[in-house]
Amino acid sequence: MSKMAIFGDTHLLMQFHEKYDKFTEFKRFLDQVLADKPNAIALLGDFVDKRQSLQGRMITWGEGSEYQVRIERMIESTNIPWYAMNGNHDDERVYPSIEKGTRNFKVAAITKYGDNGSDVSPVQIGNINAWFAPIQSDAPAQTTKEAFQELARRKNAFTKNKLHHVLFLHINMIHRGQDTGIDDEVLDIVSSNFDIIVNAHEHLYDVHKKRKNVVFMPASFPTWVVKNRGFVKKYEYKAGKLSETAKLRIPFGYLLLDDETLGIEFKPFTPTMANVEVLYDVTGVSIQQVRTDWKNIATKVHADLVAKGEFKDILVLPVLTGVIEAAIAFTIDNDIATIFAGFKNLYVNRFSTDENFKHPVMDIDQLKHERLPTRETAFQTARAQVDVIVKKLAEKKIVVDPAKITAIITRIEVLDTIFFNEKAKGVNIAKYVGGVIESILPELNDAFGTSLETLIIDPVLTQAMKAKVSKKVS
């Protein structure tokens, strides 16, 4: 008896959160996989991510090459064979490149545009014939049907051995209320011909309700924040109380396939950072009420999941419901983010909404009477918080005169006004920012007891501006 580990949807270069290091997490993930002593790994796509977005910015080709070297070293360190097919987020050139750079990574199949993905032969891995079918995830229903028919024909014509036949896919199989998913009669073409079918792409672990030999593979660990997908827990805040609406779960992990019995086991993987959802009714609430409520929410979630050691970090997704007023809509993201800034290892995402959320359209006359936050009120708030700023600095053993902090805030406010006036005249931004830095440095040095010079900062600024321009040109 031998076991095969099956995973994918790692999206290594797609950001989940800036504090979440996917490469460190992937190393933890591989350590857990290897502890189960599999004889081989089946990688079912969306491994790297062709979007090349890391920590909220586009990465360069040079950086991409460095990450590929790290990936190749991790693969080689496992000392067991990998068999891979690409997914809809993978660049088709990456897998062959990894194959050339490692001794234990084999490309089993690659999606070829114009091909329906059925032109494949099985790879014998242990006691199974593994069919990696690179059907495009968004292929039209008729194309997928034809691919399934051809795969069934090829499987039935295969006489080389009498081993079990396992089909690996990376397609839209579940109907989600859109023009996606596979109808049962189409799925029957392969489910009645193959012993086991494992499908990635859906980012969840499940077994088909009617066809028990069809298994959906989970995401390995957090990839992105989407409502109703990938959460570890759900809450609802109502009448001043935070209630649990979905119990704690671990939706991430991998599958272990016994190549003799064809038994499949879901092995959960607990990530260092996970996201929860909080349903919040905005009907009739004031800005102050929003702040009070979300401080209560943050306190409870932190105590429930971070302080107890369930996860190192938690990312909260606010899900708004009800009717929101214009003043709230303009500030709620910032108001909630400000609250969460006071909690360690607790972060918040931009809000999402449910089907009952309404944002009434206001005409210009109504807006004139709304007391919306302005630039002036923002600076007034900053001045009102000077004592808090001084206290926080004192905790870090930095003693600052409150009057000096106020002076800095005032200077920034004045320079901010100049900025908008000068920008309207088409002034060079790099020169303007340099002027701002030079102008405010005396106050900063005086307040913090430093000796920063424009000569030190200016080259960094110039280099940054040049890099920004070159990116636009390229």
**Spatial separation of the C-alpha atoms in residues 116 and 135, rounded to whole Å:** 6
**Spatial separation of the C-alpha atoms in residues 456 and 244, rounded to whole Å:** 52
> Would you state the pLDDT for residue 396?
78
Identify the band that residue 424 occupies on the pLDDT scale cut at 50, 70 and 90: very low
**Spatial separation of the C-alpha atoms in residues 276 and 228, rounded to whole Å:** 10
> Would you state the pLDDT for residue 296?
97
> Would you state the pLDDT for residue 50?
62
pLDDT over 60 (residue 261): yes
Q: Percent of the chain scored above 70 by pLDDT?
A: 81
What is the mean pLDDT of the segment spanning 259-270? 97
Q: Which residues pair with 17 in a beta bridge?
A: none
What is the mean pLDDT of the segment spanning 81-97? 90
Residue 115 structure tokens: 């091909």
Separation in Å, CA 366 to CA 136, 327, 360: 50, 11, 11
**Spatial separation of the C-alpha atoms in residues 168 and 45, rounded to whole Å:** 10
> Would you state the pLDDT for residue 220?
98
Question: Of 138-152, 225-239, 416-430, where does mean pLDDT reach its minimum?
Answer: 416-430
pLDDT over 90 (residue 378): no
> Would you state the pLDDT for residue 469?
47
> Would you state the pLDDT for residue 458?
55
Position with higher pLDDT, 186 vs 64 = 186
What mean pLDDT is reported for the chain?
A: 85
* pTM for this prediction: 0.75
Strand 241-246 and strand 253-258: the pairing is: unpaired
Count helices and strands in the chain by DSSP H and E runs? 13, 20
Domains, in order of start, for the chain? 3-224 (3.60.21.10), 274-362 (no CATH), 375-473 (no CATH)
User: 109 and 134 in contact (C-beta within 8 Å)?
Assistant: yes
Residues in the chain, overall count: 474
**Spatial separation of the C-alpha atoms in residues 154 and 148, rounded to whole Å:** 10
Residue 5 structure tokens: 């580990």
Give me the helices (H) in 302-359, please: 326-340
Identify the band that residue 361 occupies on the pLDDT scale cut at 50, 70 and 90: low
Give the residue carrying structure tokens 């900053």. 382
pLDDT in tens, 289-346: 999 999 999 999 999 999 999 999 999 999 999 999 877 887 899 899 999 999 999 9
pLDDT in tens, 168-196: 999 998 876 555 678 889 999 999 999 99
pLDDT over 50 (residue 198): yes
> Would you state the pLDDT for residue 417?
57
Is 368 buried (19+), middle (13-18) or exposed (0-12) by CB count in 10 A? exposed
User: 172 and 140 in contact (C-beta within 8 Å)?
Assistant: no
Highest average pLDDT, of 106-115, 195-204, 389-398, comes from 195-204
Question: Angle formed by the axes of helices 22-35 and 61-77, to 10°?
Answer: 20
Question: Of 120-129, 148-157, 329-338, 409-418, where does mean pLDDT reach its minimum?
Answer: 409-418
pLDDT in tens, 227-256: 999 999 999 999 999 999 999 999 999 999
DSSP string covering 111-135 = --TTS-S-----EEETTEEEEE---
Separation in Å, CA 96 to CA 6, 26, 68: 20, 21, 12
**∠ CA(201), CA(206), CA(210), 5° rounding?**
110
> Would you state the pLDDT for residue 118?
86
> Would you state the pLDDT for residue 474?
43
Identify the band that residue 282 occupies on the pLDDT scale cut at 50, 70 and 90: very high
pLDDT in tens, 1-54: 699 999 999 999 888 898 999 999 999 999 999 999 999 999 999 998 765 444
What is the mean pLDDT of the segment spanning 209-228? 94
Position with higher pLDDT, 279 vs 69 = 279
